[in-house]
Structure 1
Amino acid sequence: MDLNTSSFMQLYAWYSWPNVVLCFLGGFLLDRLLFLFKVIFAAGALFNAFWLMILGRFVFGIGGESLAVAQNTYAVNWFKGKGLNLVFGLQLSMARLGSTVNMNVMGLVYENIRGLRDGTGYTTLGITLMIAAATCVFSLICALVLGYLDRRAERILKKEVCSTGEVIKLTDVKDFPLSLWLIFIICVGYYVAIFPFIGLGQVFFIEKFNFSPVQASAINSIVYIISAPASPLLGFLVDKTGKNIIWVLMAVIITLASHMMLAFTFWNPWIAMCLLGVSYSLLACALWPMVAFVVPEHQLGTAYGFMQSIQNLGLALIAMAAGAILDSRGYLFLEVFFCACVCILFFSGGELNLSTSARARLQKDTLSHSEGRQSSVQEEDELSRLKPLSAFGLRNRYLSRLGAQLPDHCCSHLSSLAHRSLLK
C-alpha cells in the first residue's frame, strides 16, 4: 500500500484510542460485532482505502480488549473455587499463542496468495486479511455454543448471574496513593517499550540482520512464545517469594539490557529476544498484583480500569512517536528512545515486597486488631447507655419481681422508668 512507518503505526494507535476510555468505564461487545469490524479493516486493504482501515482498527479496538471482561466473567461464573487460577493462566497462554500463530502464519498466507495471483499489492493484502477475518467466525461459533451452555446451566442448576458488585467511581481517583501512580508509570513506561517494538520488529530484523521475512516473523514472535509457558511458572515463583518490587526491577534491567544489545551490537538477536520474553512475563506477574497491595478492595475495579486506560493512552502516543522517529532517524534512534522509556522505571517500596504468606499474616493481624477495637468501642457504647435507676424505678422493679400487679401506666422494663401520669 506504499505506506510509511508513521502511517502504519497509526493502525496500532487507533486500536488503543477507544480503550483509553472504555477500559475505565467497562462494558463489552459480542464476537459478531468484532467479526464485522475485522471485515471493515480487510475491506480497507482490499480497496486501497487507508481511512477505512483506520476506521476498522478503531471500531475493532472498541470491543477487542473489552471482550476480555466478558471472558473473565464467564471464567469466574463457571470455575470459581475449582481451579480458577489455572483457567485464567490457560486463557492468557491461549491469547499469546494466538498472537504467535498470527505472526508466523500470515506471511506464508500472503506469499501463497501472491503466487496464485502472480502479483502483489493491496488486493493480495486484502484477500489475506479477509482470510484472517475468518478466524473471527470460529470465535463467533464458540461464543454461541458457550452462550447456549450457559443458559442451559442457568436453567438446570438455577445459577445466578455472576456479578462482582464493584461500582466504578470517578471520585476514587483523587484518593489514589502515590505508590499507585508510580505503578501506573511503570506500566506505561514498560509496555511502550515492548508492543510498539514488536509491531516494528519484523522490518528491523530484516534490515539490520538480513533475515528473511519468515525468519524475522519467527524471532519477532519469540517474546509471546516464551511468555505463554513462562507466565504461570514465574507467577508461582513470585507468589512464593514475594518481593514484587525486586522482581519488577529485575525485569526492567533485563529489558534494558535486551534493547541495548539490539541497538548497539550485532550479536545473535535470539539472545536478546529470549531475554525480552522472560522479562516481559516476569513483569506481568509481579506488577499487576501490586495494585491490590496499595488500594482498598472497593477501589480495585477503578484502579485496574484506570491502569489499563493510561496504558492504552501511552501505547497510542508512543506508537505514533515510534513511527515518526523511525521515518526520520532510523532504528538506532528508535532503540535509544525505547531504552530511555525503560530507564524511568526505578522506585522502591515497603509492604509491597512481602511474600504471600507474610502479607496474609499481616492482613490477619490487622483484621484482628480492627475487630478488637470495634468490640471495645461497642462495649464502651453499651456501658455509656446504662444509667442508674431512679428510686421510683427501683421500687417498681422490686414489686414486679415479687409478682405484684403494676398499674398500666407504669413501665418497669425500661432503664428510664417513670410514672406516666406524672409526665402528663
Structure 2
Amino acid sequence: MEGEDEVRNLLEDEDEDRQTPRGPGRPMLPICDPSHLLHRVVVLVFMCFLGFGSYFCYDNPAALQTQVIQDMKLNTATFMQLYAWYSWPNVVLYHWFTVILLGTIIFSLFVCVGQVIFASGALLNRFWLMEVGRFVFGIGGESLAVAQNTYAVSWFKGKELNLVFGLQLSMARLGSTVNMNIMGWVYGKVEDLVGSPGHTTLGASLMIAAVTCLFSLSCALVLAFLDKRAERILQKEQGNTGEVIKLTDVKDFPFPLWLIFIICVCYYVAVFPFIGLGQVFFIEKFNFSPAEARAVNSIVYIISAPASPVLGFIVDKTGRNVIWVIIAVVATLCAHMMLAFTFWNPWIAMSLLGVSYSLLACALWPMVAFVVPEHQLGTAYGFMQSIQNLGLAVIAIAAGALLDTRGYLVLEVFFCACICLALMAVVMLYFVDYLRGNRRMEL
C-alpha cells in the first residue's frame, strides 16, 4: 500500500508540474502571462494610448490659432514661439534622456505639468508663462516617444515590430486629428459658459485638454507595473534595447547619413510649421469657415493614421527606400505648389500631402540603419531628432515673421524652396549610393 501511495503522489506531482511550468502556484491565464500573445496585445493597447495625450496637446495652438492670437493679443511670429519653445529643449536633452531613460512616468509627468502651466498662462493672461509651459511640455513629449519605442522593442520582436510601430504612429496621429477637430468646439462651449471670448475662455479650454495628458499618465503607470511584473516572472530585464548613445560617433558619420539628415530637416520644416499656421490660411484664401479650415488642416493626420501601417508594409515588401523618398518629396512639392499658385479645392493638395508625409516617414527613417553600424544607431537617431527639432524651432520663428511681413504666398514659396532642398539631397543620395556600389537603399 505504501508503494501505491508513492506512485500516486509522484503522478500527482507530475500533473502539477505540467500545469505550472513556471514554478509553484496555479497556472496563469493567457491574458496574465507575459509570454503569451494575448497579454502582449493588452500591453500594446496601453503603449498606443501612452502618447495620445502628448500628440493631442502638441497641436492645441494650431487648433486654436485664431483664438490664441486674438485672446492673447499676439502677432503670428510671437504665436509660433509656442512651437519653437517645444522644440528647443529637444535639441540638447534628447541625447541625455535617451541615455538615462528616466522612464515613461517621469516623461508623462513633464507633459502633464507642461500643459497645466501652458493653460495657466492663458488663464492669468501671461504669455511668458505659456511659453514656459510649452518648454516643459517639450521636455517630456519627445522623450516620451523614445520611451514608447523602447517598450515596443522590449515587448515585440522581429516581424511584429514594424506593425507595432505603425499602430503606435496611427494612434499618435489619431490624437492630433481629434485635437484639430474638437478643440474649436470645446472653446465654443466654454465661451457659452463664461459669456464672452478672452484669455479666461482660452485657458479653461486648454485646461480641459490637459485631461488627455492625465489619461496618458495613467497608461504610463499601468505599463510600468506590467513591465516590472514581466521582468519578475520572465526573469529578464525589460526595456533595454542595448543601444548606447555616444556623441563622439558623430565625427564618424558617413556622407550619406548627413544627406539623410538634410532630407529630414528640409522636409519636416515644410510640413509641421505649415499645419501650425494652416487654419487661418484656409479661411483667408479659400473662404472656409473655421470648422472647415480645421477639418482640412487635419487631413494630413487623418490620412497618416491608417496609411502609415499600410505604406510601411509596402516599403518593407518592395524595398527601394530611396525611390519611395523621392516620390514622397516630389508629391509634397506638388501639394505645396497647388496650395500656393492655384485655387483648386485644398482637400486635393492636403490629401496628397497626407499620403506623401506618411510615405516619407515609412521610407526615410529606416534608411539610417542602412548607412551606419548597429552600435551607432542610437547616436544617429538621437542626432537626427535633435537637428530636426533645431530646424523646426528656427523655421517656426522664421515662418511666423515671414507671414507677418510678406503674407501667405511668400510663405508657401519658402516652403517649396525647403522641399526643393530636400529633393536635391535625396537625388544626391541616390547617386552617391549608386556610385559607391552599395545600393542598399534601392533593393
In the alignment, the residues of structure 2 paired with residue 339 and residue 136 of structure 1 have an alpha-carbon distance, to the nearest angstrom, of 35
Partner residue, 1:15: 86
In the alignment, the residues of structure 2 paired with residue 145 and residue 177 of structure 1 have an alpha-carbon distance, to the nearest angstrom, of 41
In the alignment, the residues of structure 2 paired with residue 41 and residue 354 of structure 1 have an alpha-carbon distance, to the nearest angstrom, of 45
- DSSP 3-state at the match of 2:109: helix
Partner residue, 2:235: 158
Partner residue, 2:138: 61
Out of 246, 250, 253, the position equivalent to 1:176 is 253
Measure how far apart 1:352 and its partner are.
6.8
- DSSP 3-state at the match of 1:83: helix
The alignment status of 1:243 with 2:320, answered yes or no, reads yes
Higher radius of gyration, 1 or 2: 1
Q: Which amino acid is the alignment partner of residue 131 of structure 2?
A: I
Q: Which amino acid is the alignment partner of residue 82 of structure 2?
A: L
Measure how far apart 1:355 and its partner are.
6.9
Closer/same/farther in 2, CA of residues 212 and 38 from structure 1, 3 Å limit? same
Q: Is the 8 A contact 1:100 1:221 kept in 2?
A: yes
The alignment status of 1:137 with 2:208, answered yes or no, reads no
Q: Deviations over 1:271-330 (max 9, x none)?
A: 000000011011111111111111111111111111110100000000000000000010
Q: Deviations over 1:43-96 (max 9, x none)?
A: 001111000000000011011110112212222222235722222211111000
Partner residue, 1:224: 301
Output aligned runs, 1:357-368, within 5 Å.
none
The alignment status of 1:325 with 2:325, answered yes or no, reads no
Q: Deviations over 1:185-232 (max 9, x none)?
A: 000000000000000000100111111111111000000111111111
In the alignment, the residues of structure 2 paired with residue 164 and residue 76 of structure 1 have an alpha-carbon distance, to the nearest angstrom, of 7
Measure how far apart 1:115 and its partner are.
1.5
In the alignment, the residues of structure 1 paired with residue 441 and residue 387 of structure 2 have an alpha-carbon distance, to the nearest angstrom, of 28
Closer/same/farther in 2, CA of residues 178 and 205 from structure 1, 3 Å limit? same
- DSSP 3-state at the match of 1:183: helix
Measure how far apart 1:32 and its partner are.
2.4
Output aligned runs, 1:117-132, within 5 Å.
117-132=194-209
Q: TM-score, normalised by structure 1?
A: 0.81
Structure 1 unaligned residues grouped into runs of 5+: 359-424
In the alignment, the residues of structure 2 paired with residue 327 and residue 12 of structure 1 have an alpha-carbon distance, to the nearest angstrom, of 16
In the alignment, the residues of structure 2 paired with residue 233 and residue 183 of structure 1 have an alpha-carbon distance, to the nearest angstrom, of 23
In the alignment, the residues of structure 2 paired with residue 226 and residue 200 of structure 1 have an alpha-carbon distance, to the nearest angstrom, of 19
Closer/same/farther in 2, CA of residues 355 and 2 from structure 1, 3 Å limit? closer
Out of 288, 291, 307, the position equivalent to 1:211 is 288
Q: Which amino acid is the alignment partner of residue 283 of structure 1?
A: L
Partner residue, 1:291: 368
Measure how far apart 1:161 and its partner are.
3.0
Structure 2 unaligned residues grouped into runs of 5+: 1-71
The total of aligned residue pairs comes to 357
In the alignment, the residues of structure 1 paired with residue 320 and residue 180 of structure 2 have an alpha-carbon distance, to the nearest angstrom, of 34
Q: Is the 8 A contact 1:246 1:353 kept in 2?
A: no
Q: Which amino acid is the alignment partner of residue 258 of structure 2?
A: W
Closer/same/farther in 2, CA of residues 80 and 73 from structure 1, 3 Å limit? same
Partner residue, 1:307: 384
Q: Is the 8 A contact 1:12 1:316 kept in 2?
A: yes
- DSSP 3-state at the match of 2:421: coil
Q: Deviations over 1:358-404 (max 9, x none)?
A: 5xxxxxxxxxxxxxxxxxxxxxxxxxxxxxxxxxxxxxxxxxxxxxx
Measure how far apart 1:138 and its partner are.
1.1
In the alignment, the residues of structure 2 paired with residue 216 and residue 49 of structure 1 have an alpha-carbon distance, to the nearest angstrom, of 28
The alignment status of 1:2 with 2:73, answered yes or no, reads yes
Q: Is the 8 A contact 2:119 2:130 kept in 1?
A: yes
The alignment status of 1:86 with 2:163, answered yes or no, reads yes
Q: Is the 8 A contact 1:24 1:308 kept in 2?
A: no
When the two chains are superposed, the root-mean-square deviation of aligned CA atoms in Å is 1.5
Partner residue, 2:117: 40
- DSSP 3-state at the match of 2:239: coil
Q: Deviations over 1:20-43 (max 9, x none)?
A: 112233245332232111100000
Higher helix share: 2
Output aligned runs, 1:194-205, within 5 Å.
194-205=271-282
Q: Is the 8 A contact 2:336 2:415 kept in 1?
A: yes
Q: Which amino acid is the alignment partner of residue 84 of structure 2?
A: A
Percent of aligned pairs with the same amino acid: 75
Measure how far apart 1:112 and its partner are.
1.1
Q: Is the 8 A contact 2:83 2:396 kept in 1?
A: yes
Partner residue, 1:373: none
Partner residue, 1:390: none
Q: Which amino acid is the alignment partner of residue 49 of structure 1?
A: R
Q: Which amino acid is the alignment partner of residue 350 of structure 2?
A: M
In the alignment, the residues of structure 2 paired with residue 30 and residue 183 of structure 1 have an alpha-carbon distance, to the nearest angstrom, of 28
Closer/same/farther in 2, CA of residues 85 and 244 from structure 1, 3 Å limit? closer
Measure how far apart 1:353 and its partner are.
4.9
Q: Which amino acid is the alignment partner of residue 135 of structure 2?
A: F
